[in-house]
Structure 1
Amino acid sequence: MHVLQNVFQQFCSSTALPHQCARYIELLNNCRKRLATVFNAKPEEFVFLANATDAFSRVTLGIDWREGDEVVAPENDYPGVLRPLLDLRRRGVKLVLVPARDDAVFAEQLLAACTPRTRLIAASHVNFRTGFCLDVSTLCAGAKKKGVLTAIDFVQSAGCLQLDFGALGADFGTFAARKWFCALDTLGIFYVREESLNKLTPHTLGLFSVAEPHNFDALDQPLAPGARRFMLGAPPYIQIAAFDAALELYQRVGAAEVEAAGRALGRTIREGAKTGCLGESWPAGAQAPIVCLRREGKLADESLGPRLLQRGIVASVRKGIIRVSPHWFNAESDVDRLFDALAAFEPRK
């Protein structure tokens, strides 16, 4: 919070707009450098947009689609991934949805669904419903052999799992600052692998899409180097300041420590669910800290979510599931409180 207060004070106290712009651009560049360090990538491979879906749409809008092209995706993926793909029907593109097997869609299934007309495979690294963790490196390596692009949504894994974008091999990646990094909402991060940059065309241009955005006398300019060409107007600097602070904290705690803590608590929750007969989490390949418990019996009651929140327990209560996301700052006592609340829960008459 003190970071945001400082940003607000700087913004309100400065009357020299050019000076203020220079300060914010420095903030943006420093945050991109920090991102590059965290994800083993290059600063110019990142750009800040409004949200993860906005970032993902840069892929669907940027490929030079031809009628009859195909896109492959898991049938049970997040709507923010599937809807932009579904919208490609108006361009004559066919969306091939791969059915889940034991509540999961595996890399091998996605690759097997490809045909000579397939241009893109899109999928979430960690499924939002089940916590299933897709083998992204196998998927991307196989897609590359087929000449197929890959777009991976890292919303449910960035900030809780150690991610090496260089090694994973995805052409494009997206995630949101507000999820595991616990930063502010309305900030999406778009990753464009350097060698894949020219496989996308910006769907439109704005002030910051060109090489020299503040050279107002040169209207017709080359595109900006790197992923910045997909940025239109001024980015949300306050959100970026908060995200930069969140990244700094993540680095201080340590990526390995964050992942280990989340996984350990995830295992504790899974074991507790089995012992308490609450319905096993699924599927077997769910390796992320996210744990999804089946809502059965009394836990199917619609009042469960608000009543958990009243007890200070934040969980995503959706149709058929309770999604719990333990993080590095949680303790086993928090898990105990969760199971105590679930055991004591009685539907309101």
Structure 2
Amino acid sequence: MPAATSRLYFNAGTFGPLMSSALQAIQERLQDEYIHGRLGMATWDAIRAIHSNARSRVAYLLNADESEIALTGNTGEGMNIISYGINWQPGDEVITTNHEHYNALGPLYQIRDRYGVTIRFADLGAVGERPVLKAIADLVTARTRLIVLSHVLWTTGALVNVSEVCYMGREHGIPVLVDGAQSAGAIPVDVKALGADYYAIPMQKWLCGPDGTGALYVRREAQNAIKSTYVGYPSMKHEEGVDWALNESAQQFEMGGRQPAAIAGQAAALQWLKEFVGYTWLFERIATLSTYAYAALKTIPGLVMLTPKEGDSGLLSFRLEGHDEDKVVQQLHDEYNIYIRNIPSLKCLRVSTGFYNTEEEIDTLVKALREI
């Protein structure tokens, strides 16, 4: 991971450093296509195998069945698939929170404007400190059709108790869509234990995979509640005597036309994390570093920590009193070769502690922030 060793890389929450095994898999697939072409049954068999390998590795990560996994291009695509998969009627309602990312909110605003749907916002507090169950349950009505929320808030790194919401939704017959952009690869995720109906993830963040790859978990029992908005070759059954029918697995939500090399890189990244790094160690390491950074950052005079609790995720958000967050990000980059980011909506700074970071790097970051 040269991107993580040539600089202090604290921004996995935006883009994780690409690993060499993913790069190698991408190059090998492209080289194979370049030399041998992309025609014939051998090509189709190879592509199907690449896709199946990626689905199975995502399924392992999330504790799902391969048939419940659809490959996507990113988290936002998964959020769109589910949000547009409901037969919305004027006056229907959707519940979300005041800390959601644009990839979750964008589809909801479009649905609101197109179909006359009402969006209700559950207030989780300024930094996500309030209990989520009561905040959402208080907004449920007979017209609620969907609940959308994040597992980890992108704004402050607060861990949301989505399982409570998922089981409450099950009791009321309301499906729950979870944005897993800041959880997949950063904390353990067991979609079956969570009770999630739908769970969308990216590959380019904590999982250090290639851009344009991701996945959507669709609980088997919740699959029929959603209709495919767009379909393609992978969505369909290809059986003799069947003119038109969708696949009976989550694959019905795959459009097709994706770059096989990128998906090969996706599978390779997941394989490397599982077999070389180890998920148990990875999650423990991220939590340990986050806890260490939380304590270290709080020693800086004038620093106001926004993250409610240390060690719950790999994200930490804070403000430096008297400093413009944009300028701090730029100064750290230019003068210290340190990469973090800002969160415009909260006018704060955000640090991501990846498994590849070290306590010494965190100490260097703290020293730099003291000097600014």
TM range (shorter): over 0.9
Which letter does structure 2 place at the counterpart of 1:333?
A: E
State the SS of the aligned residue for 2:94.
Answer: strand
Corresponding residue number in structure 2 for 1:169? 195
Which residue, 68, 72, 83 being the options, matches 2:91?
Answer: 68
- What is the match of residue 363 of structure 2? 336
- 1:303 aligns to what SS in structure 2? helix
Q: Please identify, of 261-270 and 312-321, the stretch whose mean Cα deviation from structure 2 is larger.
A: 312-321
User: Residue 81 and residue 16 in structure 1: after superposition, are their counterparts in 2 closer, same or farther (change >3 A)?
Assistant: closer
Residue 114 of structure 1, aligned match among 132, 140, 144: 140
SS of match in other structure, 2:298 = helix
- What's the offset of the Cα at 1:218? 6.7
**Counterparts of 1:246 and 1:16, CA distance in 2:** 24
Retained in 2: the 8 A contact 1:151–1:170? yes
TM-score by length of 2: 0.87
Q: Which runs of 5+ in 1 are unaligned?
A: none
* 172-181 vs 226-235, greater mean Cα deviation: 226-235
Q: Give the secondary structure class of the aligned counterpart of 1:279.
A: strand
Q: Secondary structure at the match of 2:305?
A: coil
With 97-106 and 184-193 compared, the bigger mean Cα shift is at 97-106
- What CA distance in whole angstroms lies between the structure 2 residues aligned with 1:131 and 1:218? 51
Q: Contact (CA 8 Å) 1:208, 1:234: kept in 2 or not? A: no
Question: What is the aligned counterpart of 2:298 among 274, 277, 284?
Answer: 274
Which residue identity does 2:151 align to in structure 1?
A: H
For residues 196 and 37 of structure 1, the distance between their equivalents in structure 2, rounded to whole angstroms, comes to 20
Contact 1:171/1:196 (<8 A) preserved: yes
- Secondary structure in 2 matching 1:30: helix
Secondary structure in 2 matching 1:137:
helix
Q: Give deviations 1:10-56, integer Å, cap 9, x for gaps.
A: 11111351222211210110111112122111101111122211111
Evaluate the alpha carbon distance shift between residue 117 and residue 170 of structure 1 in structure 2; reply closer, same or farther with a 3 A threshold.
same
CA deviation vs aligned residue, 1:150-202 (integer Å, no higher than 9, x gap)? 00000000001111111111111101110100111112311111111100011
Contact 1:270-1:281 at 8 Å conserved across structures? no
Q: Residues 213-247 of structure 1, C-alpha deviation per residue, up to 9 Å, x if partnerless?
A: xx7x8783210121111112222212211111111
Match of 1:87, SS state, is: helix
* DSSP-derived class of the 1:275 partner: coil
- Superposition pairs of residues 151-190 of structure 1, within 5 angstroms: 151-190=177-216
* CA distance in 1 between partners of 2:289 and 2:108 (Å): 35
SS of aligned partner of 1:143:
helix
Q: Contact 1:133–1:285 (CA<8 Å) still a contact in 2?
A: no
In the alignment, which of 48, 52, 59 is matched to residue 29 of structure 1?
A: 52
Counterpart-to-counterpart distance in 1, 2:281 and 2:219: 27
Partners of 2:157 and 2:45 lie apart in 1 by 41
2:340 is the counterpart of 1:318: no
Superposition RMSD in Å: 1.8
CA offsets per residue over residues 317-343 of structure 1, 9 Å max, x none? 233211111111111011011112211
Aligned match for 2:122, one of 98, 106, 110: 98
State percent identity of aligned pairs. 28
- Confirm or deny that 1:145 pairs with 2:171: yes
CA offset at residue 296 of structure 1? 2.3
5+ unaligned residues in a row in structure 2: which ranges? 1-22
CA change 1:151–1:281 in 2 (3 A) is: same
AA matched with 2:51: L
> Contact 2:291 / 2:311 at 8 angstroms: preserved in 1?
no
Q: Specify the SS of the correspondent of 1:305.
A: helix
Q: Which has the higher contact order (CA 8 A, sep 6+)?
A: 2
Q: Are 1:9 and 2:34 matched, yes or no?
A: no
Partner amino acid, structure 1, of 2:149: A
Deviant stretches of 4+, over 4 Å: none
Query: How far off is 1:259 after superposition?
Result: 1.3
| TM-score, structure 1 normalization | 0.93
| Inter-partner Cα distance in structure 2 for 1:296 and 1:239 | 42
Amino acid at match of 2:292: T
1:130 alignment partner, SS class: coil
